[in-house]
Amino acid sequence: MNTAKLQYQLKKLKDYLALKTEMVNHQGIIREVASGVERSWIYYLMLLMAGLIALLGLLTNSVAVVIGAMLISPLMGPIISSGLALTIGDLTLARRAFRTIAFSVGLTILVTAFVTLLSPLKEPTSEILARVRPNIYDLFVAMLSGIVGAVALCTKRNYLITATGVAVATAVIPPLSVAGYGLGTGQIMLGLGGFLLFFTNFVAIVLTSDLVFFIMGFRTSHGETIQYSQKKRLLMIGGLLVLISIPLVYTLVVDIQKVNTKKRIERVLKKHLNQEDRSRMTGYTFKPVEGRMDVRATVNTTQYLAGPSEQAIENELSEGLDKPVDLHLEQLLVASAALPDRQEHGLLDGAKSAAREDTAIEISTKASSLAARAEQQLAAALHPFPVTGVRLGFAPRRQPLLVTAVLQRDWPVSDDELLLLARQLERTLEQPLTLQLEMQPLLPPITVAEDGSLSAESTAALELIKRLPGGLQGYRFRIEGGGRNGRAEGAALKRHLTETLQVPESLVTVQQKSRGKQNTVALVLQVVRPTP
């Protein structure tokens, strides 16, 4: 009974499709689709303009501009033509379509790569990064869009509106611009990711349009000549589909694993850090590092979490992820919302309760945390000049906190610079403070080997010069030589600065120390900023 009913429904569907296919102007659609393969200067002008507009939208992170480029691109014409050519077995049309597509792809990538090379904007934006990791879902989107486009072409129902939607959904031109961007910036993996997304869309459109054309009654009899069999066409399309599905399934699996890892980490952190009236997690990050998982979390807490609590969280994370975990907690001490109520209640009752004093361990923990945050802030603000020896001085009540540190730099800190650093530290530590910086030489004394070359330790220390902010032109390099070989050693150091580190010779001066100081330090290099 069920089999007969199923056969009846299939017969009704077959009759319905046969009725609809009779309404399709097969020869007219073939001529219309074949015309999309014709190459002219207008086609290439529209193609290049679409590619460049997409590139500018990607570099400026503008979604509207990228969508506009999708609508301008004429590349959908040859792609649909290749799908029809496979359906009707027209090898000549297929060769023309694939040749046009290959040339268009190569031209778009080369032009966008050249423009990227000239552009001052080279940082990858979110629009670029969104098109470098396609997965199997991108294949499904392109397949569904290809079905809609082919049906609209055959039935002529809202074709202009549908074709516009298909162009936006499949997005064949922005991935090519991403491939050109990756080539122009030397980020080959980004470029390969963009090209893989284009190839995914291309294969999906060809496959689904071929299927729709076949259902709509297009056969090899509609072509002028039958060049190759249906079996060969199916093998070709199936092989491409399997080939492209392998990397897409892999990226999908990787993305799913990343999501599962994120959920596990978030569940454990919230379990231990979200405690009512005590602590609340405000954010976290994680990344794999050499077989271990590095997890960093920030938490607002009314009482610092001790070492055993942090170790317990780390152990539970390691068990859940099946790999060693390094947990770093950034704890910010805050006041509990319940404290004011308790204090007010105590005053109304006339209770006299003494404030609880911190233990020595709690004071040491707070001081260490504040000092670490202060050193991190100063190191970031004064990079690349080393900041060491950060110490905290706890002054009497209502007096600002005293922060002292050692700065390795060869010119003093101005009053304005010191005030700016102090204000930044106050915002970081959330309390008033006074900042004092002790100056020390930027570089240790330079030592020279017996053969007249700089020692390995001195060469490594001099690499800091490459990281001077603002470029080398804003600095002066003073060499002071002493001892019997002072002149030769000073010349060797100057030669290393100018030839190896590319310091302009006009910025380097060499002077001999006075005889009274020749036995103190052999060779000293000072890096100073000239007074404006």
| Count of residues in the chain | 532
Q: CA-to-CA distance for 32 and 176, rounded, in angstroms?
A: 26
Tell me if 178 is assigned to some domain.
Answer: yes
Within this chain, do residues 219 and 71 fall inside the same structural domain, yes or no? yes
Instruction: Retrieve residue 60's tokens.
Output: 């400026």
Tell me if 119 is assigned to some domain.
Answer: yes
Tell me if 234 is assigned to some domain.
Answer: no
The CATH number of residue 382's host domain is 3.30.300
Q: How many CB atoms lie within 10 A of CB 344?
A: 10
Domain boundary, last residue among 387, 407, 440: 440
Domain count, the chain: 4
Within this chain, do residues 72 and 218 fall inside the same structural domain, yes or no? yes
The CATH number of residue 312's host domain is 3.30.300.20
Q: CA-to-CA distance for 188 and 178, rounded, in angstroms?
A: 10
Confidence (pLDDT) at 353: 40
Within this chain, do residues 192 and 314 fall inside the same structural domain, yes or no? no
Phi (first) and psi of residue 463, to 5 degrees: -60, -20
Given the DSSP bridges, would you call strands 401-408 and 433-440 parallel, antiparallel or unpaired?
parallel
Domain boundary, last residue among 228, 245, 279: 228
451 three-state secondary structure: coil
Residue 184 structural domain: 14-228
Confidence (pLDDT) at 352: 42
Q: CA-to-CA distance for 435 and 404, rounded, in angstroms?
A: 6
Within this chain, do residues 185 and 90 fall inside the same structural domain, yes or no? yes
Within this chain, do residues 206 and 283 fall inside the same structural domain, yes or no? no
Within this chain, do residues 38 and 167 fall inside the same structural domain, yes or no? yes
User: Residue 81: CB partners within 8 Å, gap ≥ 6?
Assistant: 33, 34, 36, 37, 93, 96, 97
Instruction: Retrieve residue 438's tokens.
Output: 């002790």
Q: CA-to-CA distance for 406 and 465, rounded, in angstroms?
A: 19
The CATH number of residue 514's host domain is 3.30.1330.60
Give the tens place of pLDDT for each residue, 421-459.
Answer: 888 888 777 778 888 888 888 888 888 877 777 888 888
Within this chain, do residues 421 and 460 fall inside the same structural domain, yes or no? no
Closest Cα partner for 443 from 425, 461, 417, 423? 461
Confidence (pLDDT) at 380: 80
- Are the C-beta atoms of residues 510 and 494 closer than 8 Å to each other? yes
User: Residue 332: CB partners within 8 Å, gap ≥ 6?
Assistant: 282, 298, 299, 300, 301
Within this chain, do residues 379 and 460 fall inside the same structural domain, yes or no? no
Confidence (pLDDT) at 493: 82
**pTM exceeding the 0.75 threshold for the entire prediction:** no
Instruction: Retrieve residue 342's tokens.
Output: 């308790």
Domain boundary, last residue among 382, 414, 440: 440
Strands (E), 243-399: 279-289, 292-301, 325-333, 387-393
Q: CA-to-CA distance for 501 and 382, rounded, in angstroms?
A: 22
Within this chain, do residues 282 and 418 fall inside the same structural domain, yes or no? no
Cis, bond preceding 134 (omega within 30 deg of 0)? no
Within this chain, do residues 472 and 523 fall inside the same structural domain, yes or no? yes
Give the tens place of pLDDT for each residue, 337-383.
Answer: 544 444 444 434 443 444 445 555 555 566 677 777 788 878 888 88
Tell me if 348 is assigned to some domain.
Answer: no
Tell me if 247 is assigned to some domain.
Answer: no
Tell me if 445 is assigned to some domain.
Answer: no
Phi (first) and psi of residue 110, to 5 degrees: -65, -45
Within this chain, do residues 392 and 430 fall inside the same structural domain, yes or no? yes
The CATH number of residue 210's host domain is 1.20.1080
Tell me if 20 is assigned to some domain.
Answer: yes
pLDDT string in tens for the chain (532-residue length): 467 766 666 666 666 565 566 566 667 777 777 766 677 888 889 999 999 999 999 999 888 888 888 888 888 878 888 878 877 777 777 788 888 889 999 999 999 999 999 988 888 888 888 888 777 777 788 788 778 777 777 776 555 555 566 666 667 889 999 999 999 998 898 888 888 888 888 888 888 888 888 777 776 655 554 555 666 666 666 676 676 667 667 776 777 777 888 888 888 888 888 887 778 888 888 888 777 888 888 888 877 776 667 788 888 888 888 888 888 888 777 755 544 444 444 434 443 444 445 555 555 566 677 777 788 878 888 888 888 888 877 655 556 778 888 888 888 888 878 888 888 888 777 778 888 888 888 888 888 877 777 888 888 888 888 888 877 788 888 888 766 677 778 888 888 888 888 888 888 888 876 554 444 456 888 888 876 5
For the chain, the helix, strand and coil percentages under 3-state DSSP, each to the nearest 5:
60, 15, 25
Tell me if 305 is assigned to some domain.
Answer: yes
Instruction: Retrieve residue 273's tokens.
Output: 């850090």
Within this chain, do residues 265 and 130 fall inside the same structural domain, yes or no? no
